[in-house]
Structure 1
Amino acid sequence: MKAMSALTGLLYAALIAYLGGWYTGYWNGNFSLLLLILTTVTLGYWVAERFHFQPARRRAAARLTEADTQRRASLAAQGIDRVDGDVEGARQEVLRQPWWLDWTAGLFPVILIVFLLRSFLFEPFKIPSGSMVPTLLIGDLILVNKFHYGVRLPVINKKIISNHDVQRGDVVVFRYPQNPSIDYIKRAVGLPGDEIRYSNQRLYVNGKEIETQSLGDFFDEDPNSMRFRPRFTEKLGPVEHEILVDPAPREAIRKIYDFPYSDQCTYTLDGVTCKVPAGHYFMMGDNRDNSQDSRYWGFVPDENIVGRAFVVWMNFGNIKRVGSIR
């Protein structure tokens, strides 16, 4: 028992150190992997409790009760009817689950439910930047449908069951190709086989300009901006959504990393033209001139897709933000 208590203490110390390093920025954490490890470890404790420790405690409590019964019977045979001591308190103490099981096996059902929900159904995210303004604002808390594009194995993100394909206009969460430990959120603009051209702040898909309509000014509350900017509607496939375009002169678009299939992209002073390879997508932020996206770091492979963002469930600074994502 002492060995198990010490082992559990070491495991909790390792967990605290990992979370502390993650929180302070010493390393990037992997919450999916952490959940898998916690589920596996607590399952081991739960199985040990169910089939070993709990039966052992019950046998010890039964022996204690049996011994007390025999003692009382022996004393009664000697004519002693009044016997001091209450075995029930000792019995309950023997049956009591030790802390190291209560905080492991006892948490297994809760951790398992969280693991299954997050891995296969819905995952919450918080919007950290303004690249998707005005569709998504900094501080929006969103839910991502993880089974919409198919069922994937946790951690390795391997698709085992296909569902819907990514559609042009979808708001997609994916693992950043340059650092898969980081999740990004952008809008799917180009599908496999598409030719995407972004020139002079205008978007073209397969040679056809995507029409926009002015909606007037939008006040960008991003601390790095804090100004009014022109807002437009844009329609990609069946999805009509809003975008921001900065009228101020911009630097020429250029790739910031070498990326797979970079030979499929041509950069000019006016913009960039890319042919989307099979099994990949071209992603762009709705805040067109304030978003590092596929124009700069390349295509998103299908295996990096996490899910489709579909609802803002809370923004503590603006409750009116709650609603579906277009």
Structure 2
Amino acid sequence: MKFPAWKKRPTPEKPKKSKLREWLDAGIFAIIAATVIRTFIFEAYCIPSGSMERTLLVNDYLFVSKISYGPRIPMTPLAIPLVHNKMPFTKYTPSYSTAVEWKYRRLPGFTHIKKNDIVVFNLPEGDTVALEVEESRNYYDLVRRLGHDEVWKRYHILARPVDKRENIIKRCLATAGDTLQIINGIVYVNHQQALIAPESERPYWVQTDGEELNASRMDDLGLIDPAVPGDTAGKYQYNLTRGDVATLQTFRAVKSIQADVDKNRNEDASVFPHDTAYYHWNQDNFGPLVIPQQGQTVAVNRSTIELYRRIITVYEGNRLEERDGKYYINNQPADTYTFKMNYYWMMGDNRHNSLDSRYWGFVPEDHIVGKAWITWLSYGKEGPRWSRFFKAIK
């Protein structure tokens, strides 16, 4: 049948999609949309440990803003959507392929990392993990304790690209170019005392007259049991906020409260840069140390090499060798090095219960995931913590 030129030919009906096809299309669209949101806008994150107590609590669920500092372009693009670094329901199977790896790039953000921001980032020492114990033991600490050959004999060892290293959360205490020092547990940045977060904890020794502390009042403070019983009657160690200290000082039975710090400045080989020949530092007395800045040039010699070894080799991808007491970078003699990236110093608010920059050093800018934004859900032993729902993070 022919239609006049002025009359529109009827559009043939498209075959109707099956229910299975409709569900499949909807699922694919949802996965793509969720992946784009997770990669470029925000991502959910759960607090796994008490290193940020009590600013953030275990089982606080956060939204992490990626647009604050600018979303990072995926560096390992061949990966299962919505999965970080392991295949679901497996222990060791990677969820990504390193067949294609892109250089670090970041889209523009609304701001830059500032001192005292709470930041989510990839664990700097997460480039290598001992799979069987990665949740409890650091690979490099194992090597220092047991030796390289013994660790490789005991465990399955896996190297991970930057964006597939474990995500952790800490507070940024110092940014590139700052000078940081810790004196008797107090952090100083550029010779000024750093902010002490109102809800941050630290250990204190509480001395009483021997009388037991009021159980109900201690329960109100969340202090049911002491962290460590003392070696004398009526002496206990508690992890306290400054508000807790002020409250306990009003208790009739409390005679004194003293911060637990290592004032003897005993060196600790587990503390960065793990070189006790030149650095006699511990978690309470540390530095001074300048945080590396892009374009800054530093001396490379025996006394500085352990500060910058990981930056030169792991973070900025150079080959470092020592020959006859001299250092060579990419086969060229080197007595200086110029940084290619900015670095940051991250620490937990619960200072004596936090593995942070004091133990693994600087955090490179390409490891930054985003800024902690809000707590959207939280629960504890007794159920939901309603007061923390949709609470802004500071």
Q: What TM-score bracket applies, with the shorter chain setting the length? A: 0.5 to 0.7
What TM-score comes out, normalization by structure 1 length? 0.58
Q: In structure 1, what residue type is equivalent to 2:34?
A: V
Q: Tell me the distance in 2 between the aligned counterparts of 1:121 and 1:253.
A: 43
CA, structure 1 residues 108+301, in 2 after alignment: closer, same or farther (shift >3 Å)? same
Match of 2:121 among 174, 181, 190: 174
**Secondary structure, aligned partner of 2:31:** helix
What TM-score comes out, normalization by structure 2 length? 0.48
The reply on whether 1:325 has 2:388 as its aligned counterpart is no
Q: Tell me the distance in 2 between the aligned counterparts of 1:198 and 1:96.
A: 66
**Secondary structure, aligned partner of 1:151:** coil
The reply on whether 1:231 has 2:234 as its aligned counterpart is no
The reply on whether 1:135 has 2:82 as its aligned counterpart is no
The structure with higher relative contact order (CA 8 Å, sep 6+) is 2
Quote the residue 1:159 is aligned against. Answer: 106
Q: In structure 2, what residue type is equivalent to 1:187?
A: R
Work out whether residues 142 and 310 of structure 1, in 8 Å CA contact, stay in contact via their aligned partners in 2: yes
Q: In structure 2, what residue type is equivalent to 1:315?
A: S
1:225 deviation in Å?
Answer: 7.8
Match of 1:277 among 292, 316, 335: 292
The reply on whether 1:210 has 2:194 as its aligned counterpart is yes
Quote the residue 2:260 is aligned against. Answer: 248
1:104 deviation in Å?
Answer: 4.4
CA, structure 1 residues 102+211, in 2 after alignment: closer, same or farther (shift >3 Å)? closer
The reply on whether 1:268 has 2:281 as its aligned counterpart is yes
CA, structure 1 residues 131+200, in 2 after alignment: closer, same or farther (shift >3 Å)? same
The reply on whether 1:219 has 2:222 as its aligned counterpart is yes
Q: Tell me the distance in 2 between the aligned counterparts of 1:246 and 1:154.
A: 48
- Provide the aligned length of Structure 1 versus Structure 2: 221
Q: In structure 1, what residue type is equivalent to 2:62?
A: I
Task: Note the aligned Cα RMSD (angstroms).
Answer: 3.8
Q: Which has the larger radius of gyration?
A: 1
The reply on whether 1:289 has 2:355 as its aligned counterpart is no
Unaligned runs of 5+ in 1: 1-56, 62-94, 234-244
Q: Tell me the distance in 1 between the aligned counterparts of 2:195 and 2:40.
A: 37
Q: Tell me the distance in 1 between the aligned counterparts of 2:180 and 2:271.
A: 19
Q: In structure 2, what residue type is equivalent to 1:272?
A: F
CA, structure 1 residues 311+296, in 2 after alignment: closer, same or farther (shift >3 Å)? same
Quote the residue 1:240 is aligned against. Answer: none
Quote the residue 2:324 is aligned against. Answer: none
Q: Alpha-carbon deviations, 1:114-143, whole Å to 9, x = none?
A: 011111111110100000001000010011
Quote the residue 1:34 is aligned against. Answer: none
The reply on whether 1:197 has 2:181 as its aligned counterpart is yes
Match of 1:115 among 35, 45, 65: 35
Q: Tell me the distance in 1 between the aligned counterparts of 2:52 and 2:291.
A: 22
